[in-house]
Every structure is written in structure tokens, then in C-alpha cells.
Structure 1
Amino acid sequence: MANRPTIRQLSDPGAHKALGHPLRQRILRHLGINGPATSTTLARALGENTGTLSYHLRQLEHNGFIEEIPEQSTGRERWWRQISADLRWPPAGEMDEESQKLLDEITEFKVDQELELARRFFTDHRRYGEWAKASRGLTHLTREELDEFFEAYMELLSRFRRTPEDASPSARPIFLRFFTMPASEDPPS
């Protein structure tokens, strides 16, 4: 069973910039799904050149999102893995203008990915058989209860978190999505 990853509050503008690049998002997604890789294997998988990948890998390493695997690295071939962390953005009111702009850019980039995943689920769910699960719900919660619900969800996610290296041979990478918002358009109080 996996340990709960460290909660990392993303308050550093450098971390925001590191995450704000679409190629770096693709690198993190690839490492999360496929496990450790070199700049060469990533370049091949992502259709980029190794020089470009090496630069972006160094930026992700510098900002604590990936790490080198020394026991696998030899000579010029460096192996990288994603660092398991529960990444959380600070509340909007606590971010400076530049960080908020970067978060907006990252969110815009991710919206297309999330919409594509939703489309894929609703058009292909029969193809995935028992691997496709969905749930929707509506409840009435106070802000404190919503916070408690979110932390319980994060605990459950941590309980089942596996890296590609830790997963059972019969495991498959599974996308999980969770978001909450008020059901009405009225501004939250």
C-alpha cells in the first residue's frame, strides 16, 4: 500500500513557471502513466528532440517535480521519475498577479485535455468494460464539510496511489478526476 504523498503548496512562482509549459505537462503525464524514462525515450514518445527534452527535464528537476534515478543512470543516460506529491495551488486571493496568470494559462491548457478525456469516456466507455466507472452526485454541504469531504477524497486517492514501478503487473493507468462547485450561479458566501 502506498504512503500518502507529501502535500506541496505551490506558492513558489518558479514552480508555477515550471508547470506552465505545455511540454512539461506532457512530460509529467508521460512519466505518471509510463514510469521512468530518459530524455531519449521521452523525445521519441513525445515527438521532440533530446536537447529540448533535456532542458525541460532540468527545469522540472530544479523545481522539485521529477528526480534522477541514480541507480539506473549510467554515463550520459539519465533516468527520470516523477516525484509523488499532492500538489495544491494556494487560494486565488493569496497568489500574486503573475502566479494567478500562470495558473490561468495552465488551467486553459488543461481544459482541452479534460474535455478530451470526458469525450473519450462518454463515447468509448463500453469499449473499456469493467475498467470504466463513473459517478455524479449532488449534496448540500457547508464550506467546512466540503473541506472535510475533499480531504477524505485525497486520503482515499493516496491509499490507492501507485507509481508504474509499484503497481501490480495486472494494473492499468487509470485517470481519476474530481471537482466540486456550487450548483447555483450565485457567488459563494
Structure 2
Amino acid sequence: MAEDRTPANALEAHRRDDRVLDTGALRALAHPLRVRMYDILSQYGPQTASSLAERLGESSGSTSYHLRALAKHDLIREVADRGTARERWWERPEGGISFASPEAMDTPAGRSAKQLVMVEFLRNRNEQLLDYATRGIEQEDEVWRDGSIISSATTRLTAEQAQELSAKIMALIDEAVENHRHQSGEGVRPVTIRADLFPLPPIGDPS
């Protein structure tokens, strides 16, 4: 039987591959500093407690404590065959995560943890975007400016058309991540890729 490749099914398959965070993992991540540490590991790769402390203006004792809390719920893991007993390296496992846990959404604590994590994650990414827009554009070489996009658009879609467009966007992003996740060498830098697509409230709806 041929595999169903419709956009809706392709997007659903992508989401099935994500790790759905349970209540325990969400609550472990629901701390502003832990979200920032997790995001740094996601964007820049393996770090130590000391390197994270230097980036974040914290003590290494503080970052070490929070790293252990994240590791307890398998949100991060120690890098095998790297580091010493005094200086351990940590990484975020590959793959996406999802906050759409029915178990977590059934409790006030789970809903609160999800909201905090999402707000802090978006706050961090928005700060990066604003920093690039206000300072980074002028500081970057022309070749990097030409390869960057800050754009927004509005159109009118049905739910099915939105699913189709979401699937196409995610396919492009997934392909880039899969092909270049481990790339290194001269000229290679971490690049954040962001896609926002959601329905606007009806006119007159204040929410």
C-alpha cells in the first residue's frame, strides 16, 4: 500500500517524531535560566557549566545545578568521551520537542509550566531577532546580510491550505537541518530558522 503523502499527513508524521514532554520534564524546564541554557545547547552545541556561566553571567555552581536538573529528565545528556571529572560537557539530544502533552494539560501545574517555557523560549528568540535587526544587520558582512531574511506577510487561507503551507515550510527546514546539522569548518556559524504561521483573530475580536 502506498504511503499517504498528503500535506496534513506529512505534517502529522513530523510531529509524531517530536518528543512530547511530560509534566515532569515541563516542570524541570520551567525556569527562565534553564530555558536559556537549553536554548544555548540547542543553538551552539555542547557546553560546560563554566562556559554557560560565562555566557549568562551566572556562577558555575548555579549552572551546574540547573544542568543536573535538566539531565534528570533526559532533556540534556552528558557528552560521552569528553571532559573530565571536574569539567563535564553537556549536550541536547537531537530531535524536536513538543509541549502538546495531554497529561500535562490536564493539570494547572502542567499548563502553567508549558506557558512559562513557551513564553521564555519566545522571549529569548525575539531578543535575538531584535538584536540582529537593530545592530547585527550593520555589523554583518554583505554575504551574511544577503543570506538573511526578516519578512512578514498576510494572506487568506483555509485550514487545509494552512496545513499544506506548514508542511512545505517544515519540509524545507527539516531538509536543511538534516543536511547541515553537524557541518563545521571555515565560515560555518549557527543560524536560527524561524517560521510563524497562525490564524489572526476575526475583526472585532479583542482576544
**Same fold, judged at TM 0.5 (above):** yes
Gap regions ≥5 residues in structure 2: 1-13
Q: Does 1:60 align with 2:76?
A: no
Contact persistence 2:36–2:121 (CA under 8 A): no
Contact persistence 1:43–1:49 (CA under 8 A): yes
Q: Which moved more, 1:86-95 or 1:177-186?
A: 86-95
Q: Which residue of 1 aligns with 2:190?
A: 173
| 1:20-66 CA distance string (max 9 Å, x none) | 11111121222233321222222222222222222211121122221
Q: Does 1:82 align with 2:92?
A: yes
Q: Which residue of 1 aligns with 2:130?
A: 119
Gap regions ≥5 residues in structure 1: none
> Which residue of 114, 118, 131 corresponds with 1:103?
114
TM-score normalised to the size of structure 1?
0.79
Q: 1:78 to 1:94 in 2, by over 3 A?
A: closer
Q: How many residues align?
A: 183
Q: 1:148 to 1:92 in 2, by over 3 A?
A: farther
Contact persistence 1:38–1:79 (CA under 8 A): yes
Contact persistence 1:121–1:132 (CA under 8 A): no
TM-score normalised to the size of structure 2?
0.73
* Superposed structure 1 runs of 4+ greater than 6 Å apart: 91-94, 162-165
Q: CA RMSD in A?
A: 3.0
> Which residue of 171, 174, 190 corresponds with 1:155?
171
Q: Which moved more, 1:42-51 or 1:136-145?
A: 136-145
| 1:91-120 CA distance string (max 9 Å, x none) | 789812222112222233344334423433
Q: Which residue of 2 aligns with 1:145?
A: 161
Deviation at 1:165, TM superposition (A): 7.6
Q: 1:35 to 1:107 in 2, by over 3 A?
A: closer
SS of residue matched to 1:138: coil
For the residues of structure 1 that align with 2:152 and 2:198, how far apart are their CA atoms?
Answer: 13
